[in-house]
Structure 1
Amino acid sequence: MEPVLALTDTQISTWVAAFMLPLFRIAAVLMTMPIFGTTLVPNRVRLYLSLAITVVVAPSLPPMPAVHALDLSALLLIAEQILIGAALGLSLQMFFQAFVIAGQIIAVQMGMGFASMVDPVNGVSVAVIGQFFTMLVTLLFLAMNGHLVVFEVLIESFTTLPVGEGLVVANFWDLVLRLGWVLGAGLILVLPAITALLVVNIAMGVMTRAAPQLNIFSIGFPLTLVLGMGILWITLGDILNQYQPLAVDALQLLKEMIRAR
C-alpha cells in the first residue's frame, strides 16, 4: 500500500504564513514607492514582481507566526504588513516630491507656471519644469542603484521589525514630523535660482520706475523667461551635489523607521 502524505493544519498554516505575510509587505512597498508605484507600471506587473521577490527572499526570512487564513489575527497581521510597506513607500515619495516642489517654485518665479502638462506618474497637471525635475531625479535614483538600497532595507525590515511584533508608533511618527522636510528641501534646491530671479525682478521694477513709458509686460516677461532658463541651466550643473545629501537623508529615514542601524 502506497504511503499517504498527511499534512496538519499547523504545517499548512506555517507554509502559507511564510509566503503570504512577506508578500503583503513587499507588495505594499512596490505599490506606493516612486518609479514602481506609478501609473506607468501596470498593477499586474507590480503584482508579478512582488511574487517574484517574495519567492526569492522567503527562504532566508525569519520564521513567521503560524496563522489561519480566515482568523482575525491573520487579518490584523496582513493589515500590519500593509501599513509598514505603505509607510516605507510613502516616505520615499516625500524625497521625490521635494524635487517636484522645487520645479514648481522655479517655474512660477520665472513665469512658466502656465506651461503645464499631464504628469503620467501622478495623473495630474504639473509645470513642465516640475516634470523635468521628476524625470531627472528618477534617472539619478536608478543610476545610483537607489532602488536596490530600498529593496535591501525592505528585506532587512523583516529582521529588525519582525512580523507580529506590532507597529512601532514612535518610528512611524517620524514620517509625519518630517513632512516639513519636503518643503524645506525643495526651497534649498532652488534657492540660488530664486535669488537670481529676484534680482532680475528688482531690476525690472527699477527700470519701470525710471522709464514709465516702457511696457513691462512686453519687455519684462520674455526677458525674465529667457534669463530664468539660463539660470536654471547654470544651477543644474550642481544638481548632483544637491541630490546626494537629500538621497542619503531619505534612505536613512527608511532605516530609522525599521529600527536598522
Structure 2
Amino acid sequence: MIPVGLGEDQISQWVGQHLWPLFRIASFMMVIPFIGTQLVPARIRLGLALLFTILVVPWIDEVPQVESLSAEAVVITLQQILIGVGMGFTLTALFQVFVVAGQMIAMQMGLGFASMNDPANGVSVPVLSQLYTVGITLLYLSMNGHLVAFEVFVESFRTIPIGLEGLGQGGVWALAHRISWIFVSAMLLALPAVTAVLIVTISFGVMTRAAPQMNIFALGFPIALMFGLFAIWVLQGNFAPHFQQYTEETFEFMRQLQGQP
C-alpha cells in the first residue's frame, strides 16, 4: 500500500538515494585494510556502512530516477560497487607494499621459513612482513590516515556522482596498473637490505672458491642472517618517511581516480 501523497516515483527516488550510496560505501568498507579484514565481523562492517550512509546521504545530489528492476538500475549498482572496491583496493595496495617488501627481505636473508598466520587476511606470511604490517597500521592510525581516506572517499560522491558513468575505462586500467606500483615500491623499499645481504653472499662465494675446505653452509647462513637483521635495524630510520611518501602517493592516486587534478 502506497500512502496518500507518496507516489511510486518518490519511493523509487528515496530508495535509490539511500541504496546506491550504501552499495558504494559497503564495498569500500569491505576492502579497506583496517576495517575490511577478518578481524572485524561482517555485521559490524555493515552497521558502520549503514551509519556512514545516513550521514552522507544529505550531501548527495539528486540521483537518477530509474525503475528499480531495470537494466539501468543494475548498471548503476555495479558502477557503485566498482567505485567502492577500486578506491578500497588503492588503500590495500599501500599496505601490501610493505608486506611484499618484507617477503623480499626475508627470503633473501634466510627468514622465509619463519612464517606465521596473518589473522587479518587468513594467509601465511613471513614474520618480517607481519611486523611491517603491524608497524604501518599503527603509523597509519596515529597519523589519522583513516580520516583522510574517508574524506577523499566522500569527495567521490561529488566528483563521480551516482549514475551510469563510473570510473570509466581509464580508471579501470589505472587500477590494473596499480599492481605494478606495488612491486616497484616494494623493491625500492627492500633494495638496501637485499643488496647488503647479496654482498655478504657474494663475499662468501669468493671465500669458498679461495678456500674450498670452508663449510659455507655452516657459516654463511648465520652471518647472512645477522647482516640482514642489522640492515633492517638501519632501515628503520627511514621507515616513517617512506611510509609518508607512499601514503601521499596513494591519496593523490585516489583523487586522480576521481578525475581530480
TM superposition score normalised by structure 2: 0.94
Residues of 2 paired with 1:70 and 1:93: CA distance? Answer: 33
CA drift at 1:101: 0.8
Q: Which moved more, 1:171-180 or 1:188-197?
A: 171-180
Q: In the TM superposition, what is the alpha-carbon distance from 1:133 to its structure 2 partner? A: 1.3
Inter-partner Cα distance in structure 2 for 1:234 and 1:109: 17
Deviation at 1:13, TM superposition (A): 1.3
Q: Which letter maps to 2:181? A: W
Contact 2:79 2:164 in 1 (8 A): no
The reply on whether 1:46 has 2:45 as its aligned counterpart is: yes
What CA distance in whole angstroms lies between the structure 2 residues aligned with 1:36 and 1:73?
31
Q: What amino acid is aligned across from residue 24 of structure 2 in structure 1? A: R
Distance 2:177 2:233 in 1: 33
**Residue equivalent to 2:125:** 126
CA distance in structure 2 between the aligned counterparts of 1:194 and 1:104, rounded to whole angstroms: 11
| Match in the other structure for 2:259 | 259
Q: Which residue of 2 aligns with 1:116?
A: 115
Report the Cα distance in structure 1 between the residues aligned to 2:84 and 2:138, rounded to whole angstroms.
Answer: 23
**Equivalent in the alignment of 1:106:** 105
Q: For 1:12 and 1:178, how far apart are their aligned partners in 2?
A: 40
Q: How many residues align?
A: 258
> 2:197 — aligned with what?
197
Q: Within 5 Å, which residues of 2 pair with 1:126-145? A: 126-145=125-144
Match of 1:213? Answer: 213
User: Aligned equivalents of 1:37 and 1:68: distance in 2?
Assistant: 31
Misfit runs of 4+, over 3 Å: none
Deviation at 1:118, TM superposition (A): 1.1
SS at match of 2:47: helix
In 1, Cα distance between equivalents of 2:173 and 2:249: 16
Gaps of 5+ in 1: none
Over residues 214-234 of structure 1, what are the superposed CA-to-partner deviations in whole Å (9 max), with x where a residue is unaligned? 211111111111221121111
Identify unmatched segments of 5+ residues in structure 2.
none
Aligned residue number for residue 19 of structure 2: 20
Does residue 173 in structure 1 map to residue 183 in structure 2?
no
| Deviation string, structure 1 residues 107-152 (Cα, Å, up to 9, x no partner) | 0111000111111122111111111111122122111111111111
Aligned-residue sequence identity (percent) comes to 45
Q: How does 1:151-190 map to 2 (within 5 A)?
A: 151-167=150-166, 168-190=168-190
1:5 Cα offset (Å):
4.6
d(CA) in 2 for partners of 1:187, 1:208: 29
How far has the Cα of 1:185 moved from its partner? 0.2
Q: What amino acid sits opposite 1:227 in the alignment?
A: F
